[in-house]
Amino acid sequence: MASAKPEFESVEKLLAKHVPADDLAEIKRIFYGKELPPLSICTEAKKIAENYDFEIQGYKFGARLEQLRAPRIVRTGLVQNRIVLPTTAPLNAQREAIHERLGNIVEAAALCGVNVLCFQEAWPCPFVFCTREKQPWCELAESAEYGPTTQFIQRLCRQYNMVIVSPILERDEECEDILWNTAVVVSNTGRIIGKHRKNHIPRVGDFNESTYYLEGNTGHPVFETQFGRIAVNICYGRHHPLNWLMFGLNGAEIVFNPSATVGNLSEPLWGIEARNAAIANGYFTCAINRVGTENYPNEFTSGDGRPGHKDFGHFYGSSYVTAPDGSRTPGLSRVRDGLMVVEMDLNLCRQVRDNWGFQMTQRIPLYAESLTRNISPNFKRQIIREN
Amino acid sequence: MASAKPEFESVEKLLAKHVPADDLAEIKRIFYGKELPPLSICTEAKKIAENYDFEIQGYKFGARLEQLRAPRIVRTGLVQNRIVLPTTAPLNAQREAIHERLGNIVEAAALCGVNVLCFQEAWPCPFVFCTREKQPWCELAESAEYGPTTQFIQRLCRQYNMVIVSPILERDEECEDILWNTAVVVSNTGRIIGKHRKNHIPRVGDFNESTYYLEGNTGHPVFETQFGRIAVNICYGRHHPLNWLMFGLNGAEIVFNPSATVGNLSEPLWGIEARNAAIANGYFTCAINRVGTENYPNEFTSGDGRPGHKDFGHFYGSSYVTAPDGSRTPGLSRVRDGLMVVEMDLNLCRQVRDNWGFQMTQRIPLYAESLTRNISPNFKRQIIREN
């Protein structure tokens, strides 16, 4: 059941439609931080985007020129996409159609000079967890090391000299066939650098993910790539400041947040959490959301009093990037597939840390002690009452 | 030196001026969350606001009616204000003029039915720390227990049956005359419930606060009042997610963030951090910022290459409240004194926690262990390299 009102394309387009330039500049300064220069997109990439009906946006995050350190420029890409075939199609055909579509988007990303690219959460599948059906959906889980999706990604990485973060539904074939929600990080050499399993699993709305997999057991790895140190905070982990913090303490410069979330649940939170994480931790964050509405063959209920229905609501896209100084790009479309290309100078991380001093002043020893006390069976809350 | 362009009043007024109602509703939904009903303000309070030239805004945060628990309605007030006399006036006159002005605003708050009121950081003083001058400014520090400001506040609390959070520059007369940045929490009975000292001290821009006082030693107290459990995260502490977290673990339902911050440093961050804290921790946050431009008798420099100057830049007000579901009020004015009155049902905290499950899924034991490992001398970052 689609909502009565058609989805609008983006809040940025609504603003640009109505607000004159000088007032728009103040509004954008307060809501988005400093103005970002656009990145020019080459004609070939634009042509692919037009042929295959997806959007490309590009921006630059500069940094001050330093005397003792060269700039460290990296081009980062974010991809958001709808599923291609209906969820009633054979699983193999569904997956291959998504592979093919993403292959075209990756080609455009390569033409834009992207060095590190990240896809949305569970990108080769529909986001099936609303259904609570184990079959046929568990069949879509793949080996992170040897599955067809990882093989497909490895070919792309080698072909385009690109690091790709590939979030999939993982089946751990070497450990009792358990399922995980996992991001596989593939080097520009085509070799797998490593993988990270989603640390925080939702139990809210139709996000019945804990029916399929549990909290990850891979800690907070940071992946050293030729282009910078990256980490992956998968979806619901963006609500958890401690998850973001640990990626920072482990040395991340860019943290991707591949997600899948729907409008009526989370849209007002979407611009807040990844952006807060960039500010608090002094790194870049890249928030990526699925787009479109997915319908399933069988009815399911949502635990909210509504009768059974077949759709998961509208995934609102709006993928965006935030710099450590809190400035952010506009979002990609709320309704269309898209590629966001962002050129960033990673030197900005340390420059902002030097200026604001959040890392120096964060008093980790105090909180290590406080949290340790909190989990002790003798924990008492520090509550002060009137005498 | 004032900026060439006059300061505009608020981003909300800019939006309302240009954007028609239906598109404005979508923009506000994305930027501010669900629409809040206004709270009607009585004529007597409006009259005081008019006579004394300050703004009043009022909003309601409702909650679902529960079967097993009555609503817990509290009216919370936030005050932002300019200093009254120039910083060249005798200290006593400066302080008394601010007391008198705040007395009038508190009377209006009482007429609005406010139960718990919070003032801005270091409210009885100009925000003198830009100067790095010890004299005469250290004289303004007062005993939290016996100082003239606390005595003034105690009288107001008794008179209006109101809890007041009074952030002052504290002198600890019983411990070697040390200075602190401290919030004193006074009960509606007029008795002091307790105090909290600012946990995180900035070293950025003109915020030379560490010249005067250091990191607080009072932990993360939550104050049990007749109207709910409250805590105080003073100013720069809002940049630290761990600080917010500990107030939550100690049971806070409302966390005040009395602040003093200027436009060119922090304005794009202002709407993000306190709001993220409300979402992540399942409580209400009340962010309060000083307003106006303060000029000092002697020149000071800002460590940014500019020549000596006498003003601290523009404190942009914009105080606002966020609910645990992430919805927020508009901001108070960027240029005028103001009182924000917010009626909230504290039952919303647990309702949002039940729905989103962030507390259940936050894995504190994992992070207690991770942070403890981080502070050990043998800490090694979890970095994964290509083989």
Please report residues of B whose CB lies closer than 8 A to that of A227: none
Among partner residues A33, A193, A240, which is closest to B268 by beta-carbon distance?
Answer: A33
Percent with pLDDT over 90 in chain A: 97
Q: What's the pLDDT at A1?
A: 41
- Which chain A positions have a beta carbon within 8 Å of B316's beta carbon? none
Is residue B224 annotated as part of the catalytic site, yes or no?
Answer: no
Chain B: closest CA distance from residue A284 (Å): 15
Q: Is B149 on the interface with A (CB under 8 A)?
A: no
Whether B30 maps to a domain, the answer reads: no
A219: contact with B, CB 8 A cutoff: yes
pLDDT of amino acid B2: 45
| CB-based contact B368 A383, cutoff 8 Å | no
Report CB contact under 8 Å: B358, A239.
yes
The predicted-structure confidence for A94-133, as pLDDT tens digits, reads as follows: 999 999 999 999 999 999 999 999 999 999 999 999 999 9
List the 341-360 stretch of B: residues with Cβ below 8 A of A: 355-358, 360
Residues of chain A contacting residue B326, judged by C-beta atoms under 8 Å apart: 268-269, 272
| Residues of A whose CB is below 8 A from B385 | 193, 224
Please give the average per-residue pLDDT across A12-19, as a whole number: 96
Give me chain B's average pLDDT, please: 97
Domain contains B270: yes
Preceding amide of A136 cis, omega within 30? yes
Question: From the list A8, A20, A363, which residue is nearest B26 (CB)?
Answer: A8
Q: Confirm whether A235 is a catalytic residue.
A: yes
Handedness of CA B245, B249, B250, B253 (dihedral sign): positive
ipTM: 0.96
User: Are the beta carbons of B367 and A249 closer than 8 angstroms?
Assistant: no
**Beta A222-225 vs B383-384: how paired, if at all?**
parallel
Asked whether residue A271 is assigned to any structural domain, the reply reads yes
pLDDT for position A4? 55
Nearest to A368 among B244, B275, B375 (CB): B375
CA distances from A103 to A91, A127, B45 (A): 18, 20, 64
Interface check for A51 against chain B (CB to CB < 8 A): the answer is no
**Closest chain A residue to B241 measured between Cα atoms?**
A241
**Residues of chain B where predicted confidence (pLDDT) is lower than 70:** 1-4
Sort out which chain A residues have CB atoms less than 8 A from B221's CB and list them: 382-384
The closest alpha carbon to B340, from B328, B325, B358, belongs to B328
Determine the pLDDT at residue B24: 96
| Under 8 Å between Cβ of B241 and B257 | no
pLDDT on residue B349: 98
- The number of domains in chain A is 1
A153-to-A76, A103, A137, A147, A161 alpha-carbon distances in Å: 16, 9, 21, 10, 12
- Chain A CB contacts of B10 under 8 Å are none
Q: Are A169 and A184 in contact (CB under 8 A)?
A: no
Put the strands of the sheet holding B228-232 in their side by side order: A383-384, B222-225, B228-232, B254-259, B284-289, B320-322
Residue B263 pLDDT: 83
For residue B255, what are the domain limits? 35-296+304-374
The C-alpha atoms of residue B239 and residue B237 are separated, in whole angstroms, by 5
Residue B330 resides in a domain: yes
Residue A193 lies in a domain: yes
- SS3 state of residue B204: strand
Cα B102 to chain center, whole Å?
Answer: 16
Q: Hey, which residues 230-289 in chain A have their CB within 8 Å of chain B? A: 236, 239-242, 244-246, 249-251, 267-273, 275-276, 279-280
Give pLDDT, residue A263. 83
Q: Is residue B132 part of a domain?
A: yes
Instruction: Report the C-alpha gap between B235 and A361 in whole angstroms.
Output: 13
A17 counts as catalytic:
no
Alpha carbon of B327: minimum distance to chain A alpha carbons (Å): 7
Q: How many residues does chain B have?
A: 387
pLDDT at B5 (0 to 100): 74
pLDDT over 70, % of chain A: 99
Q: Do A386 and B245 touch (CB under 8 A)?
A: no
Residue A69 CA to residue B241 CA, distance in Å, equals: 30
Contact between residue A267 and residue A259 where contact means Cβ atoms under 8 Å apart: no
Q: What is the CATH number of the domain that holds B205?
A: 3.60.110.10
**What's the pLDDT score for residue A5?**
74
List of chain B residues whose C-beta atoms are within 8 Å of the C-beta of residue A270 = 30
Give the tokens for residue A295.
Answer: 């319908």
B20 within a domain of the structure (yes/no): no
Of A185, A279, A356, the CB nearest to B272: A279
Q: Is residue B148 part of a domain?
A: yes
Over range A215-232, report the average pLDDT.
Answer: 98
Report CB contact under 8 Å: A364, B355: no
Q: Which among A34, A221, A375 is the nearest to B382, CB-wise?
A: A221
Confidence of residue A224 (pLDDT cuts 50, 70, 90): very high
Query: Which member of B121, B142, B253, B273 is catalytic?
Result: B121
Which of A121, A170, A209, A294 does the annotation list as catalytic? A121
Q: What is the pLDDT of residues A131-188, one digit of tens each?
A: 999 999 999 999 999 999 999 999 999 999 999 999 999 999 999 999 999 999 999 9
